[in-house]
Amino acid sequence: MNNNEFFELCINRGFSNIEITIYDNKEYISEIENEKVNSIDIKNNVFYYIKAKKNNKTVSLESNYLSEDLIDILEEKIEYVDSNVEDKFLEVIDDNNIIQVNDSCDFSKYVNKTIPLTTLEDNIFNVTATLVFTVSKMKIINNKGVNIENVNMYY
């Protein structure tokens, strides 16, 4: 299910404010031993933090996916929450809050540049180099038009 479908289902079931924070982390790992690439591993973890308001009550939940089942859980939480704490939701400041981020990286280029490093010393019997590249994204979207994304990349 995509974000817009989730927003639409929430609105159809009476929620007025829906905000999703998406944490998307990708990790590229390569191990090089004596000029040979032993392994390349790619891990991708996506995590959602969902906050929604209905009947002047705000509830939240965390999940690894988006589905209609989560809306059932939000409604169940609304039923049992007693407090009416006014929670903050992001509002659209202007029409330019959509940020485009280029997070592409040619990891193989860095692996190929690392291979010669394992042969710099002739008198060393065994050299192992591990290269790790991480792309960490956080994106906040809501049914009011907010779409903000922050990307950090590091080795």
- Strand ranges inside 55-144, DSSP E: 57-63, 128-142
Rounded Cα distance between 10 and 8, Å, is: 5
pLDDT of residue 99: 52
Quick one: tokens of 152? Answer: 């950090």
User: Which residue would you say has higher pLDDT here, 120 or 60?
Assistant: 60
Q: What is the pLDDT of residue 151?
A: 86
- The model's pLDDT over 93-133, given as tens digits with 9 standing for 90+, comes to 555 455 555 556 677 787 778 777 777 777 777 788 888 98
User: Residue 45: which domain range?
Assistant: 3-154
- What's the domain count of the chain? 1
CATH for 141: 3.30.2290.10
Q: Given this model, what pLDDT does residue 123 score?
A: 73
More confident: 116 or 79: 79
Cβ(36)–Cβ(43) under 8 Å?
no
How much is the mean pLDDT over the chain? 84
Determine the Cα–Cα distance for residues 14 and 36; give it in Å rounded to an integer.
58
